[in-house]
């Protein structure tokens, strides 16, 4: 299934692969990859047990994506280990690590969907025309149920940070 015109990129309508994820449903499973002492994987099962913020960005090498990751990192600093927080992109895990090191990102980890796009397809965030993820934010409760879902209508715009953080706090 595809959703034609679901978002725009610089004003141009784009098609998202997969179905939209909505609050109230169980989060679909996925496999992401990150580099820490070797290549490792991250799935939905790894996130259960704590409320989770999934911040989805097209690429950490762009200004808006960097801003989104930095803002969530700053806001999540006070929450410590009480929550999971992951920035998801198609950037390679090595590039994600380099970005986090250069920008002092410590409160949100990064994970990549580069291998098989399982996250992009499962959460309906893969832009078919560009082969990158759209900008989105999801909050899951400790059981993996979606409590908040935002697909940012214009990919070059920032998400609603306050609404996402409020949902994360209430999911705990």
pLDDT for the residue numbered 103: 95
Q: What does the pLDDT look like over 2-38, one tens digit per residue?
A: 999 999 999 999 999 999 999 999 999 999 999 988 8
Q: For the chain, report the end-to-end CA distance as a whole number of angstroms.
A: 33
CB 92 within 8 A of CB 99: no
Q: What does the pLDDT look like over 95-152, one tens digit per residue?
A: 999 999 999 999 999 999 999 999 999 999 999 999 999 999 999 999 999 999 999 9
Q: Catalytic: 134?
A: no
- What's the whole-model pTM score? 0.96
pLDDT beyond 80 at 154 = yes
Pairing of strands 136-140, 39-43: unpaired
pLDDT beyond 80 at 172 = no
pLDDT for the residue numbered 78: 86
pLDDT for the residue numbered 37: 82
Alpha-carbon span 141 to 8, nearest angstrom: 29
CA contacts within 13 A on the Cβ side of 125? 31
Domain boundaries, the chain: 2-171
**2-171, what's its fold?**
Glutaredoxin (3.40.30)
pLDDT for the residue numbered 43: 97
Per-residue tokens: 166: 């409020």
One of 6, 17, 53, 65 is an active-site residue; which one?
Answer: 65
CB 88 within 8 A of CB 117: no
Q: What does the pLDDT look like over 50-102, one tens digit per residue?
A: 999 999 999 999 999 999 999 999 999 889 889 999 999 999 999 999 999 99
Residue whose tokens read 């409160």:
107
Q: What letter does residue 61 receive in the DSSP assignment?
A: T
């Amino acid at each position: 299934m595809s959703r034609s015109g679901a978002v725009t990129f610089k004003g141009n309508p784009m098609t998202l692969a997969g179905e939209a994820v909505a609050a109230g449903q169980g989060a679909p499973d996925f496999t992401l990859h990150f580099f820490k002492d070797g290549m490792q994987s991250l799935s939905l099962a790894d996130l259960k047990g704590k409320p989770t913020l999934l911040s989805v960005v097209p690429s950490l090498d762009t200004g808006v994506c960097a801003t989104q990751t930095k803002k969530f990192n700053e806001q999540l600093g006070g929450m410590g280990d009480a929550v999971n927080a992951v920035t998801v992109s198609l950037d390679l895990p090595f590039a994600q690590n380099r970005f986090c090191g250069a920008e002092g990102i410590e409160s949100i980890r990064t994970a990549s969907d580069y291998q098989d796009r399982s996250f992009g397809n499962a959460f309906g965030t893969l832009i078919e025309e560009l082969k990158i993820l759209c900008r989105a934010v999801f909050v899951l409760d400790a059981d993996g149920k979606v409590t908040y879902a935002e697909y940012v209508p214009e990919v070059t715009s920032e998400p609603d940070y306050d609404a996402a953080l409020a949902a994360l706090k209430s999911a705990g």
